[in-house]
């Protein structure tokens, strides 16, 4: 089962993917995280990736292609939530090709719909644990102790691209490159739109119904 979670940055798709993955034993593949891990490894490739993520631009398709092919080839029997991929027409074409080649079916594309003001508010309040990667929101899902991860007590940090200047560009890139692919999935009858401003538990319930997770 392959499900795609699609939406602007800060729409909560990563939060939902992580919850469902934990609850139902699915594989949550988060492209942004995978890219950040490559950056953290200090490799030459990571350096190149950083020159794009730092300014909120999409990383070139050649790099994305290698990563996604490996993920789908290595786990062709698992149920996977793709979070943050595809993000452009050419990436959607790539996904089509890989799914056909591996004989995998796209269950659906779940679109997290939310306005810009709510996004900026969410992202500027986002913090994460650099050790276990748990994500917090200072307003809606704060840690139990100020600035510390609930799981391992590590000092929480802000992503370098979660500042207002870079967010503005990420939203622009989303509008120009990612939003247009919604039409393709709508046409194919694969698109489900969700109100991303609902409570976390309510969105989770809707996703479970639509994806068919019990
Ligand atoms: P995210 O964690 O999903 O907000 O992604 C953080 C950054 O990683 C984005 O602003 C892009 O620079 C890069 N990125 C994530 N996913 C992709 C993708 N599918 N294609 C190209 N770049 C991506």
Which of 33, 47, 63, 87 to probe ligand 1 with, by most ligand atoms within 8 A of CB? Answer: 87
Find the residues whose C-beta lies inside 6 A of ligand 1.
Answer: 9, 31-32, 35, 52-53, 56-59, 64, 84-85, 87, 91, 161, 170
Q: What is the torsional sign of CA 148, 150, 154, 157?
A: negative
**Mean of pLDDT values over 177-206:** 97
Q: What is the CATH number of domain 2-115+177-211?
A: 3.40.50.300
Q: Any idea where the domains of the chain sit in the sequence?
A: 2-115+177-211
Which of the four pLDDT bands, split at 50, 70 and 90, describes residue 80?
A: very high
pLDDT of 8 reads 95
**Interval between CA 23 and ligand 1 midpoint (Å):** 25
Tally of CB atoms within 10 A around 186: 14
Range list of H helices, the chain? 13-24, 31-40, 44-53, 61-74, 89-102, 116-124, 164-173, 181-187, 200-211
| Cα 157 to Cα 130: distance, rounded to the nearest angstrom | 7
CA of 38 to the centre of ligand 1 (A): 12
pLDDT at 58: 98
Whose C-alpha lies nearest to ligand 1, atom 12?
A: 53
pLDDT of 77 above 70: no
Output the residue whose Cα is nearest ligand 1's atom 10: 56
| pTM passes above 0.75 | yes
For a mutational test of ligand 1's pocket, the pick from 5, 17, 50, 53, i.e. the residue with the most ligand atoms closer than 8 A to its C-beta, is: 53
**Residues annotated catalytic, as ranges:** 13, 87, 126, 159, 170
pLDDT above 70 for 214: yes
> In this structure, what token pair is assigned to residue 154?
């590590």
């Amino acid at each position: 089962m392959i499900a795609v979670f699609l939406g602007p940055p800060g729409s909560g798709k990563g939060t939902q993917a992580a919850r469902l993955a934990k609850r139902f034993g699915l594989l949550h593949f988060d492209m942004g995280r995978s890219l950040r891990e490559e950056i953290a490894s200090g490799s030459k490739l990571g350096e190149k990736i950083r020159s794009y993520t730092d300014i909120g631009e999409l990383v070139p398709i050649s790099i994305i292609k290698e990563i996604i092919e490996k993920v789908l080839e290595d786990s062709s029997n698992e149920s996977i939530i793709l979070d943050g991929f595809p993000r452009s027409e050419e990436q959607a074409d790539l996904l089509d090709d890989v799914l056909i080649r591996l004989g995998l079916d796209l269950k659906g594309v779940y679109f997290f719909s939310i306005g810009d003001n709510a996004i900026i508010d969410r992202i500027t309040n986002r913090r994460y644990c650099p050790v276990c990667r748990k994500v917090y929101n200072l307003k809606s899902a704060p840690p139990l102790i100020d600035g510390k991860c609930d799981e391992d007590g590590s000092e929480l940090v802000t992503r370098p691209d979660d500042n207002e200047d870079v967010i503005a560009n990420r939203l622009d890139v989303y509008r120009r490159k990612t939003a247009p692919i919604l039409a393709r999935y709508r046409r194919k009858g694969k698109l489900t739109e969700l109100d991303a401003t609902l409570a976390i538990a309510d969105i989770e319930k809707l996703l479970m119904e639509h994806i068919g997770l019990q």
